[in-house]
Structure 1
């Protein structure tokens, strides 16, 4: 009965949800590019060069995907969960690829995104990220086009119907590219940066992409380890809890907590967003201890619940994820030089995946899996 209800519900709303999603994406991306052309004066020849490289790259992508197409795909055999998660990841990569083609991106990405992020790192992390900066600086236009083409290849490949070999190839590229971005583009998701928090994007969107890619890849090869996602979410909130309570982070006093929304106030965006960031900046300043206590308890609760009851954990995670996506991440792409929706949206997709498809499966309960594994060994 539950399966029939889920199928009818999905079939009834599928067209409406798809149209609404695509309309929102088009509107938001249109506003982002409109703002780019107003704020930045990029020489036309550089923009033409960027789009020329991208055009030729997309010709290659089209040829590869055409060879890997499948007229009778067997994706339905993997179930609705597989298709939902695969489509969600595909949309994220497609949006990322389009955002990478913002005309100013080759020359503002390093000085305004990567280098400021490097300022709060040191030692080995700094050297690793700096290596990527030096490589990118050799020819930023070419590397930006390559990044965009790679992300568009992954996004389109996940959204269209490919054979098994094609799906495996696209997901392997997705996993590999996610790690590259997480290391060189996000500095390990900010985990080792001073003042980083779940609110500001820890553990990094690319790491979430990586976990989703690996999970989908395991499903295709017949190793559907459903407990992987709850264990990952538990780890995320444990790390977030540690970062939130460490005295070195200065979230209990001082201005570290208020700096998260404060850094978003003066970006190019609708005024009501700036006003909301100003409000939370002030309330974080005056009530920093109580806010940090609330966040710490919330993260601890999420970490524990993801181990015992992923369904309820997803319900608990959605509010703090959406709050962080708004107050700490400015929805990722609304303003500034964002090249992805940040960690809020992929984490939200994971929560929806658990809520819709994992409600009746004990295989999604990490502790159940460990007990079963232990009992089988004893036998």
Structure 2
């Protein structure tokens, strides 16, 4: 959930030092990668001889990768999920390399997302991140850059390879670290709105990683698709609840318009800012009615994913809503300011496409809940 605030530009010499550090770390990582590659090539060629020399039996033709084989019917969907998740992490890493984040990550990202959080969150998390990102700002930010880029590259290896599965598991851990420290728990404790990215984009990343770690049998039996349906229904249901909470303040006359106006005022091309200003002006008239609409939309999508997730109407409606929100509600996540990811609507849209590519089986969470009762009657 990228931050959209602006900050003053850091000194030129600091920016130069930041990118010099990134270049040095990149060279070291490249050297390590080459060494690992050469060792793997050597072992692939001569490893069996070494195993026989020491009396160890070769592992044989079967490997754990076969457990993760899927049929061609599921292969396209899983490939899209792999490339989507890997690319998202790489983009996040590149966004983290913005000049302003090298020295101002704490003030540009951490402090804004922690604003309005309960006291215990600030006491437990704000002090830790302040200590980390102000003691060695260049080093820790560059470390974050490479962690996310390496996660993306490793995920692109795919779940059939050990390195791909290992990276997927590490990405889940890192997702929750980012969710807590970088997204302020998705703003769910401080009145977050699904229009702006709550409950948090990295939760979608974690869900995609869990999906990709499913074994081939789980894909073939349709259980991956069924889990995605439950997950999407729950996500939109939670989004409606967050938007409807009186404590969030969105039922007031100008809360939504002020939120939209602050985003429109971020320096960006006029062609991109003009629709945001127009939308903010529209939201200033009848704010509570607009909020009722923004509660009803995710609630309707939650019901759709629960009752008829394979319906073309639900698929198209979900895609249209997510793309519209990514534009008008999230400003594409990375326009202006110091956005650290493309925000939530894009990965949700990609997950919708993954679900759409899976074979249709006519099931839904609603039908699966009713099935045991009908058979026992």
- In the alignment, is the contact (CA less than 8 A) between 1:201 and 1:342 conserved in 2? yes
The change in CA–CA distance for 1:314 and 1:172 in structure 2 (over 3 A counts) is same
Shifted more, 90-99 versus 60-69: the winner is 60-69
Partner of 1:226, secondary structure, is: helix
Does structure 2 retain, via aligned residues, the 8 Å contact 1:68–1:165?
no
Residues 127 and 58 (structure 1 numbering): CA distance in 2 closer, same or farther, change over 3 Å? farther
**Deviation, structure 1 residue 208:** 0.4
Alignment correspondent of 2:151: 154
CA contact under 8 A between 2:70 and 2:216: conserved in structure 1?
no
The match for 1:169 is: 166
**Structure 2 contact 156–164 (Cα < 8 Å) conserved:** no
Please tell me whether Structure 1 or Structure 2 has the larger radius of gyration of its CA atoms.
Answer: 2
C-alpha distance in 2 between matches for 1:262 and 1:216: 39
User: Structure 2: 5+ residue runs without aligned partners?
Assistant: 1-5, 45-62
Relative distance call for 1:340 and 1:288 in structure 2 (3 A) is same
Q: Which deviations, in whole Å up to 9, do the C-alpha atoms of 1:323-370 show, x marking residues without a partner?
A: 221122110112110111010110110111222325x1246x223344
Shift of 1:64: 5.2
- The whole-number CA distance in structure 2 between the counterparts of 1:236 and 1:66 is 44
User: What are the Cα deviations for residues 279-314 of structure 1, in whole angstroms up to 9, with x where unaligned?
Assistant: 111111112122112111112101111111123333
Retained in 1: the 8 A contact 2:205–2:347? yes
**Deviation by residue 1:173-223 (Cα, 9 ceiling, x = unmatched):** 1111111111111011111113x2110001211000000101111235857
State the 1:371 CA deviation: 4.2
Instruction: Give CA deviations for 1:226-253 in whole Å, capped at 9, x if unaligned.
Output: 3222222222222221222222222222
Q: Does the 8 Å CA contact 2:101/2:108 hold for their aligned counterparts?
A: no
Q: Which secondary structure does the structure 1 equivalent of 2:310 belong to?
A: helix
Q: 1:50 and 2:49 equivalent?
A: no
**1:304 corresponds to:** 303
Given that 1:325 and 1:331 are in contact with CA atoms closer than 8 Å, whether structure 2 keeps it comes out as yes
Residues 315 and 355, structure 1, Cα contact 8 Å, conserved in 2:
no
Residue number in structure 1 paired with 2:248: 249
Q: Which has the higher contact order (CA 8 A, sep 6+)?
A: 2
Residue 85 of structure 1 pairs with residue 81 of structure 2:
yes
Change over 3 Å in CA distance of 1:332–1:263 after alignment to 2: same
Is the alpha carbon distance of 1:326 and 1:214 closer, same or farther for their aligned partners in structure 2, counting shifts above 3 Å? same
What is aligned with 1:109?
105
Moved more, 60-69 or 140-149: 60-69
Instruction: Write the deviation string for residues 137-184 of structure 1: whole angstroms up to 9, x where unpaired.
Output: 331222212211111112112224675312211111111111111111
Q: Structure 1: how far apart are the matches of 2:280 and 2:134?
A: 35
5 Å-filtered alignment, 1:135-150, equals 135-150=132-147
CA distance 1:104–1:56, change in 2 (3 Å): farther
**Aligned-pair CA distance for 1:84:** 1.1
Distance 1:371-1:271 versus aligned 2 partners, 3 A rule: same
List gaps (5 residues or longer) in structure 1: 1-35
Give the direction of change, closer, same or farther, for the CA distance of 1:197–1:186 in structure 2 (3 Å limit).
same
* Whole-Å separation in 2 of the counterparts to 1:362 and 1:182: 35
CA separation in 2, counterparts of 1:202 and 1:176?
19
Q: Which residue of 2 aligns with 1:19?
A: none
Cα separation, partners in 2 of 1:271 and 1:216, compared to 1, 3 Å = same
Q: Could you say what secondary structure the match of 1:202 adopts?
A: coil
- Relative to structure 1, the CA distance from residue 275 to residue 155 in structure 2 (aligned partners, 3 Å threshold; closer, same or farther) is same
- Structure 1 distance, partners of 2:40, 2:317, is 40
Q: How many residues are paired up? A: 339
TM (norm. structure 2) is 0.80
SS at match of 2:12: coil
Which of 207, 214, 225 does residue 211 from structure 1 map onto? 207
Which residue number corresponds to residue 271 of structure 1? 270
* Contact 2:279 2:328 (C-alpha < 8 Å) held by counterparts: yes
Tell me the residue number matched to 1:260. 259
The aligned runs of 1:163-202 (5 Å cut-off) are 163-194=160-191, 196-202=192-198
- The DSSP-based 3-state class of the residue aligned with 1:264 is helix
For residues 63 and 258 of structure 1, the distance between their equivalents in structure 2, rounded to whole angstroms, comes to 55
Q: Tell me the TM-score normalized by structure 1.
A: 0.80
Q: 1:323 aligns to what?
A: 324
